[in-house]
Amino acid sequence: MTVKNTDPKSAVSKFEIGKVRKRTGRLIKYRRERITEAIFKALIASNKKSIEDNKRLAEELAVQVEKRLVKIFKGLDRYPSVEDIQDIVEAVLLENKLFKVVQNYVEYRQVRRFIREEKKSILNKSILSSIEKKFSLTAIQVLASRYLIRDSEGKIIEDLEHLFGRAAVVGVLPELVFDKKVSKRPRGKRYEVFGSRPAGIFDFKEEHSDRQVKEFVSKIEPKLKQVPEKIEDTHTGYRIGKYPLMYGHLHRLAALYDEAKLAGWVKISFNKLLDLLSEGYFDKYEKLVDEYYNMMINQEFLPNSPTLMNAGYRLGQLSACFVLDMEDDLLSILTTNTHVGIIFQSGGGVGINYGKLRPEGDIVASTSGVASGPLSFMEIVNTTTEVIKQGGKRRGANMGVLDVYHPDIEKFIVAKEDLNRFTNFNISVGFWEIFWDSLIQKSRMPLINPRTKERVRELDPADFINRLAISAHKSAEPGVIFFDKINKYNVLKDVLGNVRATNPCGEQPLYAYESCNLGSINLASCVRQDKEGNLVFNWRKYKKLIRLATRYLDNIIDINRYPLPIIRYRTRQTRKVGLGIMGLADLFYKLGIAYNSKEAYMMMNKLAEYLTYYSMEESVNLAAAKGAFPLFSKSDYAKGKLPVAGYYEVEKHNLDWKALLELIGEYGIRNSMTTTIAPTGSIAMIADTSTGLEPQFSLAYRKNVAIGNFFIVDKVFDEYLLYTRRQDAAKLREIVANNRGMLTGLEEYFDEQEKKRFITAQEIHWLDHLIAQATWQRWITASISKTINMHEDVTSTDVKHAYLLGHELGCKGLTVYREGSRMGVIQFKGEKQQVRLVPSDYAIKVVEGILNSSDGIYGARVDFRSELNDLLEAAIKGIKPTIEDQLELVSKAKEVPVEGDGPIKIPGVDVCPDCGGDLILEEGCKKCVQCGWSACTVS
């Protein structure tokens, strides 16, 4: 076939029509490159020509289409529609006898049409906006399932522009109260900010000094309690530039104003503030709203789910993470359970350390009876969780922690082997120095009654960690939390004591009644082309996103409507935020870097260091403008210390941390903690990227839809298939989906380099999972939610050494998942490949360094060092465990059928509570691959 040689440069010099009518009826500027791109996609799916040849051919064909457009529409009284152009493209392809290309182009149009109609149906709309077209069908499904507002009949009444607009506005409202026309900064109170007073005065419903504010709130409260019939019903008429303020926005603005007034910071009345709003004085903040809004719609940054759900509405609760306390008396236990219910109703998740409760069988003096123990009171919280939905959206999640020296710890570690028990809990053993000291010294560890503080009995720490590993090997729980590592660089320890609990997925250590707002930057969005056309990481954009996201999260602290006054008070005392990342796997896919390569680990180290450094630097800038967190002067920051292990333990830094310390000494810092790597299940699906710092779980799997098989494919991998593969992309999607979503075993279709590049979590040795977490943890101020994936053939000895190595490498907690060990988690059908998982050379060197060291656990325990050395040698040689190695297990998970295609759930187990879809275990918690539901509330 020969196409008439048409030089694109000699094409129509000026397109006489100029505009195109979209399906919405809106006119947009005509751009030939869009036609070229569509034809190019059809070409590369249809022939084996080079990319350059296909690009050249696509440009030539686009010129022909353009000339035909001019000829047909010249002199007509209407502009061409998108459908008109697509029809002409088909005609031009047929004229050039590109029959296979026509077929693929028509199929492409059909799929696009199906997706458009599906989106319209989901969103209850007849026309899609440009942003709704931009987001994938999966993202739309997730947004519709729990984020977009519905009317009293359950119909969606909100579009994406409004959702992200209201979420962006809440990040700017505190700027209005801090504006120079509204507030005055007291002299001589450098580190004092409002929020540092006793909790009671910040209860918005109980105390207000301004009569006009109370009158305003009394007018809007009835409307806040109504479910709107349409979004316009929630607007107040006030705006920041083009962004409308909802009643929930004004409610929080009024509350924040009143707090500032009580603190003596304001110099005008609230009515005057509203006048300034009406007059457009605050429109100068429209640009900042734009920046937050654009971060979200461009899928560069997203806040945690409660912020997206509740921003601008009556609930107004924007935090995901909470930690409560439970003292050893019935009133405290019942009060805590009440607070659990309140937090779940508001949309948060709760972590509690049950270690203060007396052990089972201990004396209860008031009744002359015996105590039922911590596990029984966890059952009460579990039941409360079951019956109360988070903000009317879904059930809540808990983290139940018990200290390793508690007398009931041996019952605790096997509690979840019964799959019907503690179904709304993640459970973790809290490790302290007393355990490691006993393990190293080969002495017995005392178990201490928290009521009497007396030694009850002792246990062998080596035997205990073996039993813990067996339980985790069997059921994927408990996890472990290393409180000694969490508190090692805790800058608040001298003023508030040790941290003793975390949020449900373990990534956010908090003091009792603290909360934290989280958000994640999409690393895959920070990629650009250099002058040579190569894809490189955009460090400048990354820094900008870090600064902007830090400012956004800090403002959320002030505008948030906390479920309890004490939570408001304690949160503002420390002002912790948790900025994290998602899209790491997709970033490496784009850059062609293998996740488990030395190059990847070096980049992880730099990415993590940048994240914390620039978030802290921006926090210093905020402190200079607004004041440091109230406890700054009593914290270790004032002594020149940092909550960053990498500053002390990494020999070579990429950035000037000493300069940052000098700035902190001069201006203070507004947030005591700034970085966290949280689960990003739902928001990663909204951003069309991989979750957290996890490797991609599966490149592709099958989903049945009305028009036939529909494949959920990693976005970057799919683009790779479309642009660089000479085979039929649709065929390859199906082949990969039928191969458990990975490339191993597909040597006929993919070479070794491609298999290394597009590696999945199933193909990475557990040591490399561990090294990845440890690499990030050195620089993250809080902790990390990640799953250490293990092949089904590993023994409990592997699990034990994952714990020991994790502690030696500085991790603050671990969740281990052996394939097939957790019921309710999907397996993938298709022929099961015999994947040989070998640690990377980099991971081997790290472990060898630990083995050769005279310090730590392995330096003191020859028996452990010998075990680890044997495991390492077996992994390198690809030796599988023997039958004898497996006899230590109480039982093994039932074999799952592997025939057929796509994912299936294990028979007879739980499914996604939202959509009935299949669950995987990732980032330390169950997640739905269909709708993005997560057992962790952050997602």
pLDDT tens for 654-685 read 999 999 999 999 999 999 999 999 989 899 99
The one-letter amino acid code at 199 reads A
* Distance, CA of 538 to chain centre: 21
- The answer to whether 601 and 771 are in contact (CB under 8 A) is yes
- pLDDT at position 925: 63
For strands 425-431 and 389-390, give the pairing: unpaired
881 pLDDT higher than 80: no
Q: Which two tokens stand for residue 450?
A: 């928290």
- pLDDT at position 417: 82
Where helices occur in 298-329 by DSSP H, the ranges are: 305-310
261, HSE (Cβ side, Cα atoms, 13 Å): 19
pLDDT tens for 331-359 read 999 999 999 999 988 878 899 999 999 99
**Residue 441 burial (C-beta neighbours within 10 Å; 0-12, 13-18, 19+):** exposed
Percent of the chain with pLDDT over 90: 56
pLDDT tens for 686-731 read 999 999 999 999 998 876 544 445 678 899 999 898 777 655 777 8
- pLDDT at position 106: 81
For strands 394-395 and 389-390, give the pairing: antiparallel
Mean pLDDT over residues 907-913, rounded? 51
DSSP secondary structure, 502-558, as one string:
E-TTSS-EE-TT-EEEEEEEEGGGSEEE-TTS-EEE-HHHHHHHHHHHHHHHHHHHH
480 pLDDT higher than 70: yes
Q: How far apart are CA 78 and CA 69, in angstroms?
A: 12
Q: Which two tokens stand for residue 417?
A: 């082997």
- State the Cα angle at 545 between 544 and 548, rounded to 5°: 85
DSSP state of 150: B
Mean pLDDT over residues 378-406, rounded? 81
pLDDT tens for 297-315 read 999 999 999 999 999 988 8
Could you write out the three-class secondary structure of 65-124?
A: HHHHHHHHHCCCCCCCEHHHHHHHHHHHHHHCCCHHHHHHHHHHHHHHHHHHHHHHHHHC
Cis peptide before 897 (omega within 30 of 0): no
Q: How far apart are CA 515 and CA 332, in angstroms?
A: 19
Query: What are the beta bridge partners of residue 547?
Result: none
- pLDDT at position 451: 93
Query: What are the beta bridge partners of residue 401?
Result: 353, 428
Q: Which residues of 713-740 are buried (b: 16+ CB within 10 A; e: fewer)?
A: bbbbbbebbbeebeeebbebbbbbbbbb
Q: How far is CA 539 from CA 447, 523, 777, in A?
A: 50, 10, 20
Residue whose tokens read 């062998």:
460
Q: How far apart are CA 243 and CA 289, in angstroms?
A: 8
- The answer to whether 379 and 428 are in contact (CB under 8 A) is no
Residue 127: phi and psi, rounded to 5, are: -135, 135
Q: Which two tokens stand for residue 307?
A: 């912020």
Q: How far apart are CA 289 and CA 293, in angstroms?
A: 6
Question: 731 vs 441, which has greater pLDDT?
Answer: 441
Residue whose tokens read 């603005």:
253
189 pLDDT higher than 70: no
- pLDDT at position 81: 84
- The answer to whether 567 and 573 are in contact (CB under 8 A) is no
Query: What are the beta bridge partners of residue 403?
Result: 430
Which residues are marked as active site? 503, 505, 507
For the ranges 149-158, 284-293, 584-593, the lowest mean pLDDT is seen at: 149-158
pLDDT tens for 501-541 read 999 999 999 999 999 999 999 999 999 988 888 899 999 99
61 pLDDT higher than 80: yes
The one-letter amino acid code at 63 reads V
* Distance, CA of 247 to chain centre: 29
Mean pLDDT over residues 544-561, rounded? 97
Question: 615 vs 153, which has greater pLDDT?
Answer: 615
What is the SS3 assignment for 398? strand
What band does 749 get if pLDDT is binned at 50, 70 and 90? very high
What is the SS3 assignment for 447? strand
What band does 920 get if pLDDT is binned at 50, 70 and 90? low
- The answer to whether 700 and 713 are in contact (CB under 8 A) is yes
- The answer to whether 693 and 786 are in contact (CB under 8 A) is yes
Residue 164: phi and psi, rounded to 5, are: -70, -25
- The answer to whether 400 and 452 are in contact (CB under 8 A) is no
Mean pLDDT over residues 638-657, rounded? 96
H or E, element range at 827: strand 827-828
| C-alpha gyration radius of the chain | 29
Q: How far apart are CA 286 and CA 241, in angstroms?
A: 5
Q: What is the mean pLDDT of the chain?
A: 85
DSSP state of 370: E
- The answer to whether 530 and 536 are in contact (CB under 8 A) is yes
750 pLDDT higher than 80: yes
Mean pLDDT over residues 195-209, rounded? 37
827 pLDDT higher than 60: no
Q: How far apart are CA 924 and CA 939, in angstroms?
A: 12
- pLDDT at position 690: 94
10 pLDDT higher than 70: no
What band does 228 get if pLDDT is binned at 50, 70 and 90? confident
- pLDDT at position 367: 64
- The answer to whether 760 and 746 are in contact (CB under 8 A) is no
The one-letter amino acid code at 147 reads Y
- The answer to whether 82 and 20 are in contact (CB under 8 A) is yes
- pLDDT at position 883: 54
For the ranges 291-300, 461-470, 472-481, 719-728, the lowest mean pLDDT is seen at: 719-728
Q: Collect all residues with Cβ–Cβ distance below 8 Å to 765 and sequence separation of at least 6.
A: 596, 791, 837, 838, 839, 840, 843, 875
Mean pLDDT over residues 392-413, rounded? 87
What band does 371 get if pLDDT is binned at 50, 70 and 90? confident
- The answer to whether 775 and 812 are in contact (CB under 8 A) is no
Could you tell me the end-to-end alpha-carbon distance of the chain, in angstroms, rounded to an integer?
52
Question: 393 vs 345, which has greater pLDDT?
Answer: 345
